[in-house]
C-alpha cells in the first residue's frame, strides 16, 4: 500500500482513472542532496562522469550519428559511454534534434523513469528554437521549457567528433558539479508540468513517472 502523504507532497494524477491512481505512486519527487563532505561528492562526480550510459531512444534524426559514435570508428566506449536499453539503467538522455509532440510525451516519461543523477544532451538547433521546423504544428520550439537541458551540441547533423567533444564537455561539467538539470526540474516542477500539459493534450499518465 502506498504510504499516505500530506497533501502538499502529493501529486494530483488527474489524468489517470481512479483505478489507475491506485497503481501509481503520487509522491512528489525530491531534489538530490549532495554528500555533506565535499571530497566524497567530488569522488562521486568523478565516478559519474566516467560512466555515462546513454538511453537507446532515437527521438529524432540525431540518432543516426549515434551509431557511428558507439561503434568501431569513433568508439565512445573509450570515454565510459555505453548504450543502455532501459531508462532505469541510463544516466544520459540524448535528444536527437526536433521533438514532435507525440515523442515529447514519451521523452518525458522516459526521462522521469531514469534514476538520478541524470543528464540531458540536446542535439542541433531544433531543441533550441525550432530550427527549420519553427513553423511546424507538430514540433516543439523550445525544448528547455519542458525538460531541463544540461548541454547543447550544435550542428545538423552533429558530427561524431562534435558528439565526442560534447561528451568530454559534459564530463567536465559533471566533475565540477555544475550539471544540476535534474534538480532544476524538481525545483520548478510545477512550471515544467504546466508547460508540458499545455502542449500534450491527452495527458493520460501520472504526473511523475516513478
In the set 51, 89, 129, 188, which binds another protein (CB under 8 A)? Answer: 129
In the set 21, 31, 136, 209, which binds another protein (CB under 8 A)? Answer: 136
Residue closer to another protein, measured from CB, 50 or 138:
138
Residue 9 Cβ, how far from another protein at the closest point, in Å?
29
Instruction: Classify residue 66 by burial, with Cβ atoms within 10 Å: 0-12, 13-18, 19+.
Output: buried
Exposed e or buried b per residue across 6-22, where buried means at least 16 C-beta atoms within 10 angstroms of its C-beta: eeeeebebeebeeeeee
> By three-state DSSP, how is residue 65 classified?
helix
Residue 160 Cβ, how far from another protein at the closest point, in Å?
8
Q: How far is residue 50's CA from residue 4's CA, in Å, rounded to a whole number?
A: 39
Residue closer to another protein, measured from CB, 24 or 203:
203
Which candidate, 144, 146, 56, places its Cα nearest to that of 92?
56
Taking every pair of C-alpha atoms in the chain, what is the biggest distance, in angstroms? 54
Residue closer to another protein, measured from CB, 157 or 164:
157
Residue 120 Cβ, how far from another protein at the closest point, in Å?
15
The grid coordinates listed for 95 are 535528444
Which candidate, 135, 133, 140, places its Cα nearest to that of 99?
140
Residue 145 Cβ, how far from another protein at the closest point, in Å?
7
In the set 2, 5, 23, 64, which binds another protein (CB under 8 A)? Answer: 64
Region of 19-27, 35-43, 100-108, 167-175 interacting with another protein (CB under 8 A): 100-108
Site of interaction with another protein (CB under 8 A):
55-61, 63-65, 67-68, 71-73, 83, 85, 87, 98, 100-103, 105-106, 110, 128-130, 132-142, 145, 156-157, 159, 198-202
Amino acid at each position: 500500500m502506498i504510504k499516505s502523504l500530506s497533501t502538499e507532497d502529493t501529486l494530483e494524477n488527474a489524468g489517470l482513472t481512479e483505478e489507475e491512481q491506485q497503481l501509481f505512486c503520487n509522491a512528489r519527487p525530491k531534489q538530490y542532496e549532495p554528500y555533506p563532505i565535499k571530497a566524497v561528492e567530488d569522488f562521486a562526480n568523478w565516478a559519474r562522469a566516467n560512466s555515462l550510459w546513454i538511453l537507446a531512444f532515437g527521438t529524432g534524426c540525431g540518432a543516426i550519428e549515434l551509431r557511428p559514435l558507439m561503434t568501431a570508428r569513433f568508439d565512445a566506449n573509450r570515454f565510459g559511454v555505453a548504450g543502455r536499453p532501459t531508462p532505469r539503467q541510463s544516466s544520459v538522455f540524448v535528444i536527437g534534434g526536433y521533438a514532435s509532440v507525440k515523442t515529447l510525451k514519451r521523452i518525458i516519461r522516459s526521462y522521469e523513469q531514469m534514476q538520478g543523477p541524470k543528464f540531458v544532451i540536446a542535439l542541433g538547433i531544433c531543441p533550441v528554437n525550432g530550427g527549420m521546423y519553427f513553423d511546424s504544428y507538430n514540433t516543439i520550439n523550445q525544448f528547455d521549457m519542458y525538460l531541463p537541458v544540461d548541454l547543447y551540441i550544435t550542428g545538423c547533423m552533429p558530427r561524431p567528433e562534435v558528439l565526442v567533444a560534447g561528451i568530454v564537455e559534459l564530463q567536465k561539467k559533471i566533475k565540477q558539479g555544475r550539471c544540476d538539470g535534474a534538480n532544476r526540474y524538481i525545483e520548478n516542477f510545477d512550471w515544467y508540468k504546466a508547460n508540458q500539459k499545455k502542449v500534450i493534450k491527452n495527458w493520460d499518465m501520472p504526473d511523475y513517472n516513478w
